[in-house]
Structure 1
Amino acid sequence: MGAETIIKRKKKFSDEPNFTTKKEYRPAGVKETGLEFVGHEISDDGEAMNQFLHYDQLYTIRHGWNSKFFRGLLEGKIMGTRCPKCGDTWVPVRTHCWNLDCDLEHAEWVEMPLTAKVHTWTIAGWSGRSSLKRLPIILVYGIVGDSKVAIANELHGIDPWNVEFGMPLKIVFKPKAERKGIITDWHFEPADDWKPSAMNEEKERIKKLVEPVYEWVKTLK
């Protein structure tokens, strides 16, 4: 009796997307040096987005199921995901719920408010060459809406020593023509009706630490 050969085919997760919407940011005749996003493409059904990153050579970042978050940035939206069982919400997004009682329930997309609060923060007194003249930089981990996790981005419009834990924030986007579907399309700013508390010993300590950075930046050409 001859051996029976069984050929098993893997089930396709999804069909190959057809990318019809493409945009390039690279100016004509310019060759990037260093790290730079130079374009993106979006599938004809709007579900998938790839981004092109130049760093000595061209890389393609395939966002897959998470594409909706990055497409939302192009539209001036912060998209999150929510578990339909327990209601937990996440920005940055999660594909499945990590709550043990939810058994990896697949998350649903939700549009988040453009408001947040400071979870924690730090001050950068040094950076790569492209950002030296912007020092000191305030980096905040902010909780967007009712998210269970925090997302990192810069905080503008405030002196570093006046940042406070739990302070309310608003999310501010770049003009539509300047957006690339990347995290730097937006930043945090203090909420319009928020005022910092009075100077105290800790704020004075931070101010003393960052003032030399401001003076050093003034010497840069």
Structure 2
Amino acid sequence: MGKEKVVEDKISDILKEWEEYARKGNWRVRGYKIIRGPSGNTKVGEEEEEEFMISYRPHGVLYHHSLGKVSKFFRGLIEGKLYGTRCPRCGTVYCPPRAHCWNPECRVQPTEWIELPPRGKVHTFSIMLFSADAFLEHLPFVLGYVQIEGAHTALPIQIVAPPTGVWIGQKVNIRFREERKGELMDIYAVPVPGQEPPEWSCLHRDPKAIEDLERNLEETYRFLEERFGITKEMVVKRWETGGR
């Protein structure tokens, strides 16, 4: 056995909160308040109010768990390689990987590891104009499912591009971040240059949809600057440099 190496996230605000919770005692109540609100057992328009107690109790949990039979996929991310699994019986290729084939006819057939190319196409995507605290500074961003070339399934991944410049079927390259810890955030996708959206692209065939999206984006830019001092120009530069 080699020497165990634990790569820790030294910059996460969430980790700092966990450390504070551990110091105080994970489940100690930090405070409370009394509020009035609908009782919930009346008809709409006939609501009755009553008092409720709100308890402030930290719930930070740090997990230590095995990645099991798909460990090779996450070790591959650290090494800058993209792996999938293939069923030797039906030929289905999974990325993200599955240790056993999900085709009912294959009867939980164990799969085999294969290396896949760092490219694919957008299967579907969502534009995130707001998020949980841990990702606020990354707004606005695109979360997509990318079908890696050679795979039959789709991989959840961040697409680093202007939200108005992403569409289903778009070809993308997979890039690896410089500092990697063996998680899906180690990789991201960037569109292959020189592509034009197809005529059937919902977002691009509807000028009002683009107008509405750009208006909503301006609200997100305003929030970022007020909260973090991140300007619109800084966000655009992030897209232009492909996340680097």
TM-score computed with the length of structure 2 as normaliser = 0.66
Task: Say whether the 8 Å CA contact 2:122–2:169 is kept in structure 1.
Answer: yes
Letter in 2 for 1:166: G
* Cα separation, 2, equivalents of 1:31 and 1:214: 23
Report the equivalent of 2:168: 165
- Segment drifting more, 120-129 vs 194-203: 194-203
Q: For residues 17-48 of structure 1, give each alpha carbon's deviation from its aligned partner in whole angstroms, at most 9, with x where no partner exists.
A: x5634233255xx9932479xxxxxxxxxxxx
When you count strand as a share of all residues, which structure comes out higher?
A: 1
Task: Say whether the 8 Å CA contact 1:119–1:141 is kept in structure 2.
Answer: yes
* Cα separation, 2, equivalents of 1:26 and 1:19: 22
User: 1:173 deviation in Å?
Assistant: 0.4
Structure 1 gap segments, 5+ residues each: 1-17, 37-54
- Which of 208, 215, 221 does residue 222 from structure 2 map onto? 215
Residues 115, 212 of structure 1: CA spacing in aligned structure 2 closer, same or farther, 3 A cutoff? same
Over the matched positions of the two proteins, sequence identity in percent amounts to: 33
Task: Say whether the 8 Å CA contact 2:7–2:181 is kept in structure 1.
Answer: no
Residues 145, 35 of structure 1: CA spacing in aligned structure 2 closer, same or farther, 3 A cutoff? farther
Task: Say whether the 8 Å CA contact 1:162–1:203 is kept in structure 2.
Answer: no
Describe the SS at the equivalent of 2:5. strand
Structure 2 gap segments, 5+ residues each: 20-58, 229-244
Letter in 2 for 1:217: L
Report the equivalent of 1:4: none
* Cα separation, 1, equivalents of 2:155 and 2:138: 21
Task: Say whether the 8 Å CA contact 1:160–1:207 is kept in structure 2.
Answer: no
Report the equivalent of 1:56: 60
Task: Say whether the 8 Å CA contact 2:172–2:191 is kept in structure 1.
Answer: yes
Residues 34, 144 of structure 1: CA spacing in aligned structure 2 closer, same or farther, 3 A cutoff? farther
Report the equivalent of 2:16: 33
User: 1:186 deviation in Å?
Assistant: 0.9
User: 1:180 deviation in Å?
Assistant: 0.5
When you count helix as a share of all residues, which structure comes out higher?
A: 2
Residues 56, 124 of structure 1: CA spacing in aligned structure 2 closer, same or farther, 3 A cutoff? same
Matches within 5 A, 1:4-153: 20-25=3-8, 32-34=15-17, 56-153=60-157
Residue 192 of structure 2 corresponds to residue 191 of structure 1: yes
* Cα separation, 1, equivalents of 2:225 and 2:71: 40
RMSD, aligned CA: 2.6
Residues 97, 130 of structure 1: CA spacing in aligned structure 2 closer, same or farther, 3 A cutoff? closer
User: 1:164 deviation in Å?
Assistant: 0.6
Describe the SS at the equivalent of 2:219. helix
| Count of residues paired in the alignment | 181
Describe the SS at the equivalent of 2:143. strand
